[in-house]
Amino acid sequence: MTRPRGGRLPRDITVAAGITRTVFIPISHWNGVTQGQWIPRATSESVSYIWYDPDYDVGNALNVRVHWYTPNATDANSVTFRVRYARLTVDTTAVALGTTALDTVIAADNPSTTANSYMRTEAGVLNGGTVTDGQALSLQLDVSATSGLTLGSDSASRVVVVGVELEYVATNL
């Protein structure tokens, strides 16, 4: 086994040990959000965020989950969030909105039968090897579909997005 670079473990050890890092990005940090939460008004509305972590082990997957709630209490209803990305090479690539879908998209999520329950979607996945060292991700988030829920701030069945969670293997422990 070769000696790792200063402070870094070989990928096979971090993966085998199940060492992951989870980062929560509040929706208020996303471009296009004017208040502490985002209430999408239409499927054509999106918000964006540029994420860079030099400790992200690009050889492993990046899991993406959306945290949200709704005053609606009908678990037969659903919302489908869409996260798209663009790779940005530092000092090279022009900043652009994400247009490429995750390798595994985020599945439709159903509210609980308790109004305003804090919800977290299943993970969407960006496969390992998609990003290279030194690249940032331009993330774009929108709602691609709803069933029984109504987009818009005045609706009792509105969707309120609180933030996005990123889970990944870190190279620097």
Question: Rounded to two decimals, what is the model's pTM?
Answer: 0.88
> How far is residue 107 from each of residues 72, 86, 100, 104, 123, measured CA to CA in Å?
19, 21, 16, 9, 8
In this structure, the number of other CB atoms found within 10 A of the CB of residue 54 comes to 11
Look at residues 121, 123, 139, 120 and name the one whose alpha carbon lies nearest to residue 131: 139
Q: Do residues 27 and 38 make contact, with C-beta atoms less than 8 angstroms apart?
A: yes
Per-residue pLDDT tens digits for 55-77 = 999 999 999 999 999 999 898 99
Q: Which domains does the chain have, with CATH numbers?
A: 11-169 (2.60.120.260)
pLDDT in tens for each of the 173 residues of the chain?
343 444 444 445 445 556 789 999 999 999 999 878 899 999 999 999 999 999 999 999 999 999 999 999 898 999 999 999 999 998 999 999 999 999 999 999 999 999 999 999 999 999 999 999 989 999 999 999 999 999 987 888 999 999 999 999 988 65
